[in-house]
Amino acid sequence: MAKVNLYLHVLARRPDGRHSLDGLVAFAGVGDTVTVTATDASAPSLRITGPMAKRTPAGPENLVLRATTELARRVGRQPGAAISLVKQLPVAAGLGGGSSDAAACLRALAALWELDADDARVADVARGLGSDVPVCLFARAAYLGGAGEIVEAAPRMPPVWLVLANPGFAVSTAAVYGAFSGPFSPPARLESAPGDAAELARMLAARGNDLEASARALAPAVSDVLAALAGRPGALLTRVTGSGATCFALFGVRADAETAATALARTRPEWWVRAAPLLTDARKPAN
């Protein structure tokens, strides 16, 4: 499922060159589909289909293949598995698509290879694959800490709808972090569980995404996307997710979100636009 950074604060630059983060992540009910089948092969295979397949690397750098190979090594078995990936999410879009795919593959392999659901080796592999993979493995609303490897449960999110919009091009996460020059922000965890979408929007408005200015500077179309989302009736809050270029608007009413998505898709057909609910638990199918 698509990862959404409801807020993202950069606290400091670490000696290893990475950044210390504080953020609130949740998941939207739209995403890729990963299917894993056992085989007798000595190496995993990957078949990618879907509208974003041509933009998705299919070689050993793909996080799904890396997850399979590394988990097999950790548990001492052949990494034979046939993996099917139906790619719906834009690539390098701030939605954690590749990370979410890797996390889904790890959960599927753990079930297929009869590992305990809380096997520490699964979490260890997730941490080694990238900063977004641990929270995608958790797959519920969570606070981020460290460089993303620290994941703690967040309060339950209220019923909320989102419109996600991407202008149709990738933005390098490394480039966005490289362009970030501060100022750093303090941690800003929610003071209480939000009761409804309007309260969540008010809480988030007191926080931000510290990478937004860098994303706008590197990809000026991000500003166009934010303005288009903000102009839709019923939009309570607009923000960049992750390092961009995808942005989201938060809505309290499903019909408003769906109407906004339909209008944006009609007026900006080159954009990727979806309306989706914010999920309580991304490990379960969306309603």
Residues with catalytic roles: 3, 132
Six token digits for residue 7: 């807020």
Please classify residue 164 by burial: count the beta carbons closer than 10 Å to its beta carbon, then call 0-12 exposed, 13-18 middle and 19+ buried: buried
Residue 85 φ then ψ, to 5°: -125, 115
CA 99-101-105 angle, 5° bins: 115
Q: Which helix (H) or strand (E) holds 8?
A: strand 2-13
Query: Which amino acid makes up residue 285?
Result: P
What Rg, from alpha-carbon coordinates, does the chain have? 18
The total of other beta-carbon atoms located within 10 Å of residue 189's CB is 15
Q: Please list, in sequence order, all residues whose beta carbon lies within 8 angstroms of the beta carbon of residue 202, skipping any fewer than 6 positions away.
A: none
